[in-house]
Structure 1
Amino acid sequence: MAAVPAPRPFQLGLPALDAFPRKTWVRLAGRTLRSLGMAAMVHPDPAGYEPLRRSIAAYLGISRGIACTPAQVFVTNGYRGALQLACRALLEPGDEGWYEDPGYPYARRLLEDEGMRLAPVAVDEEGLDVGQGIRRAARARFAVVTPTHQSPLGMALSLPRRLELLEWAGRSAAWIVEDDYDSEFRYHGRPLPALKSLDAQGRVLYAGTFSKALFPGLRLAYLVAPQAQAARLQEAAQRLPGPGAVPLQAAVADFMDQGHFARHLRRMRALYAVRRGFLVDALDAVFGGRLHVQPQAGGIHVLAHLAGRRSDRAIAAEARARGLAVQALSDWRIRKSAAGGLLLGFANLQSADEARAQAERLRAAFDAAR
């Protein structure tokens, strides 16, 4: 069996693997396999395992203020599957949509692979600039947003902008895909309500994933459809691969229903606040004023802005050559900008000493980059 490479320092999108309750998970997964019934041995429902859809609907009602039925919940093969389902059900190749700039490059490529045309819309301290979106692409058919914790800048979409975005979607008969990544990991107060919870006109499709809340190897995500569109998504789901084997979905459902999921998220919120502090303190000690870490209320990465006119791409390339999984903010932009920065994951930094050591390695790459 081939060895699985260890996570690289500063790797984005990776939860604290050392803190995952593996014994509990193995026990639940083993029980699921031992009780494997006939229903799990035939072709699985491409919309997802029904008990997991019920568990997700119940969780979203409590934690995110989203009132939905299990029939509106579609379990997918990762976030890619969620975007594909939305595109196949409600959009046509060639449709134009708003995309946050900067924004998640992987999702941008997925949408382009589905034939979508993306209009970059700037992000400021209030999140997506809806007015600019209307001026740039007033007849857009969709918008993809990260309103709770903008990816990668970290701010929340303000309430006036949320209402403006919903009003535009209702007036234009456009769809909003709400990517609620990292919403569970807010360090100050309760997580912000989802944009979907304000959706009175049925224009928002809500996407969530278990990759960061549990572990990315699950390859499980979900999409919540407006009630009036559930049948269209059900039909589209029949033409997609679906979320995969039932036992894995059943284990996640048991993990949620028995309270392990909620307890795990509470522990991770506290842990990530500490580990973020490790990294921020280390960067301040090692770099001084040469890096400025942007304040943020949640998430599992930091954005370190560069002082002066240094190339974030050159620094990130040098860091990657030294084994550090650093990403350049410029690579998340569609349009060019002079505002460079480094994106650094911190979830797997287990001590202040480890954070300091990795910051020293980053400093060496910083100094060597041209």
Structure 2
Amino acid sequence: MTTATPSPISPLDPTAATPLYRQIYDRFRDAIANGVLKPGDRIPSARALTKELGLARGTIDSAYSLLAAEGYIQARGQAGTIVAPDLKPRVPIASPRRPSDSKAGSTSFRPDSILPFQMGLPALDAFPRKVWARLGARCARAMQPSDMVHPPVYGVPQLRSQIAAYLQVSRGISCSPAQIFVTSGYRHTIELIAHALLKGGDRVWLENPGYPPTRELLGHMQITAVPVPVDQDGMVVADGIKLALRAHAAVVTPAHQSPLCVSLSLPRRWALLDWAVRSKAWIIEDDYDGEYRYVSRPLPALTSLDREGRVLYAGTFSKVLFPGIRLAYLVVPEALVERFEQISQAFTGGSPALTQAIVTAFIAEGHFARHIQKMRKLYAERRDATAAGLESVLGEHMQIDSQPGGMHLILRLQGKLSDRRLVARMRESGLYAEALTAWTIGRDEGSALLLNFTNIDSRKTAEGLAKRILALT
């Protein structure tokens, strides 16, 4: 079945020497030749185009007759007019792309692909799509005109309430729904915080190594990133104090440090909170995958230790559900609620209410908690299988770090192998990886690959992929 394609007609020029019918002909012909309109695509009827352009019907008929005579379009009666199915349009000449734009060398942290070892993706094959579809259909059927207006910029009240209840039980965070602001993702969360609490020229501690998009986003806002070393106990708070005692904020990943997966020790947590109180600074806790710990129960959130209102907690549904949902949330101290309401009114458009309604039902009916429990067990199994498969093939060339949790493995490269060069070769071969050195500023953390294991279904699969990596070394 063919579907109608929006009109490719740009505004016509009535003052031009070229007749209007010929301008219409030229635009359709160019759209077909350039691949904008493809063989079999339906084009607007002469009557519809007459009404859209406000021209005489004869002008449109003349253009369509010429296009049909030259074999560009075919009339199909009541089925409408389509681009000739057997037409072979010219392949448009692609404009040169910079190396940084190519998928092989891409540094994007939001790739629109599903590749082996791709970072940031949960187990998409294990997501309960049937349950999600049923809830989605029910929410869509229940929509009323009041649900179709602009969504609340702070988030749908029912979802905020469900998040508050979930955080209280699972992460030890006591908060009211009013303290929760629904965002469209981690970057939106950081942007919201920066607008509310920071200004150009401020300094912010960032973990080193750490998540590159954070420093990139802050850099665009003229906020200075201060790289603070990370060791086996997490961010070295004492080094942060030496580097920038009067920094205005610190961004940390206490549960599983991104990317080293170490946990911020209790003494370091208290030291960080003490620094924030003394310096009147803010702590931004990014708890991106705190649910996934395999050696013990998930650790309580840093926010649960905060008694002075200095910690802002950033959570996301991307890692526990799927990235395409584009939903995250921020929990702010009670004293900051009014400030964040003001900033949200100015900078936030609100996330789709229908999506929020589906997530609300997913949580309220217990599917969310069951899904996390299922994924925790599945990821433990897949992590062990992936590690075993990689070690059986790459054991002489790489060493896998021991990690208590998270969704990726760290493969330390032996010898003089460059992680960036190997990552580039892997991307060219249809495999995904991140280079640890690309996450590091001004220190020698060593070459290592960051490989997500959540979508690797067996040891056999991991061994096959490891052989492909070995061939690239």
State the TM-score, normalizing by the size of structure 1: 0.96
What CA distance in whole angstroms lies between the structure 2 residues aligned with 1:136 and 1:280? 37
Sequence identity, in percent?
51
Matches within 5 A, 1:1-370: 6-337=113-444, 339-366=446-473
Q: Distance in 2 between matches of 1:6 and 1:155?
A: 28
Aligned mates of 1:6, 1:88 — CA distance in 2 = 31
Following superposition, the deviation at residue 5 of structure 1 comes to: 6.5
What is the CA–CA distance in structure 2 between the aligned matches of 1:363 and 1:200, rounded to whole Å?
51
Cα distance in structure 2, aligned partners of 1:176 and 1:281? 37
Deviations 1:317-358 (A, max 9, x none): 111111111110000012241511100011111122111111
Residue ranges of structure 1 left out of the alignment (5+ in a row): none
Distance of 1:6 and 1:163 partners within structure 2: 40
Distance 1:321 1:136, change over 3 A: same
State the 1:282 CA deviation.
1.1
After TM superposition, the structure 1 stretch with the greater mean CA deviation from structure 2, 304-313 or 148-157, is 304-313
Count of aligned positions:
365
C-alpha offsets along residues 234-272 of structure 1, whole Å, 9 cap, x if unaligned?
Answer: 110111234421010010011001100000000000100
- Cα distance in 2 for partners of 1:258, 1:276 equals 29
Kept after mapping to 1: 8 A contact 2:150/2:350 = no
- Asked whether the 8 Å contact 1:287–1:363 carries over to 2, the reply is yes
Cα separation, 2, equivalents of 1:224 and 1:115: 24
**AA aligned opposite 1:27:** R
Q: Is the 8 A contact 2:389 2:466 kept in 1?
A: yes
Distance 1:214 1:268 in 2: 10
Of the structure 1 ranges 242-251 and 173-182, higher mean CA displacement relative to structure 2 is found in 242-251
SS, match of residue 346 in structure 2: coil
Q: Is the 8 A contact 1:183 1:191 kept in 2?
A: yes
Identify unmatched segments of 5+ residues in structure 2: 4-110
CA distance in 1, matches of 2:362, 2:321: 10
Q: Secondary structure at the match of 1:47?
A: coil
- CA distance, structure 1, for counterparts of residue 369 and residue 116 of structure 2: 27
Cα 1:6–1:311, aligned 2, differ >3 Å: closer, same or farther? closer
Letter in 1 for 2:356: Q
Distance, in Å, in 1 between the alignment partners of 2:177 and 2:445 is 46
Q: Partners of 2:403 and 2:472 in 1: how far apart?
A: 25
> What CA distance in whole angstroms lies between the structure 2 residues aligned with 1:134 and 1:110?
23
Match of 2:12 in 1: none
Mapped to 2, the partners of 1:359 and 1:55 lie a distance apart of: 42
1:39 Cα offset (Å): 2.8
Following TM superposition, where does structure 1 have runs of at least 4 consecutive aligned residues deviating by more than 3 angstroms?
none
| Distance verdict in 2 for CA 1:242–1:206, change over 3 Å | farther
Could you tell me how far apart the structure 2 residues matched to 1:338 and 1:27 are?
A: 47
Look up the SS of the partner of 1:310 in the other structure: coil
Does the residue aligned with 2:225 lie in a helix, a strand or coil?
strand
Alpha-carbon distance in structure 2 between the residues aligned to 1:35 and 1:177: 37
Task: Report the RMSD for the aligned CA atoms in angstroms.
Answer: 1.5
How far residue 35 of structure 1 moved from its aligned partner, in angstroms, is 0.5
CA deviation string 1:279-299 (max 9, x = no partner):
111111101232111111111
Q: CA deviation at 1:6?
A: 5.0
Look up the equivalent residue of 2:282 and give its one-letter code.
W
- Which 10-residue stretch deviates more, 261-270 or 100-109? 100-109
Deviation larger for 149-158 or 350-359: 350-359
Tell me if structure 2 keeps the 8 A contact 1:54–1:70: yes
**Greater CA deviation, 100-109 or 308-317?**
308-317
Contact kept, 8 Å, 2:207 with 2:252, in 1: the verdict is: yes
Distance in 2 (alpha carbons) for counterparts of 1:161 and 1:351 = 37
Rounded Cα–Cα distance in structure 1 between residues aligned with 2:145 and 2:247: 46
Largest Rg, 1 or 2 = 2
Once the two structures are TM-superposed, the CA of residue 33 in structure 1 deviates from its matched residue by: 0.8
| Distance in structure 2 (CA, Å) of the matches to 1:114 and 1:55 | 33
Contact residue 207 and residue 222 of structure 1 kept, 8 A? yes
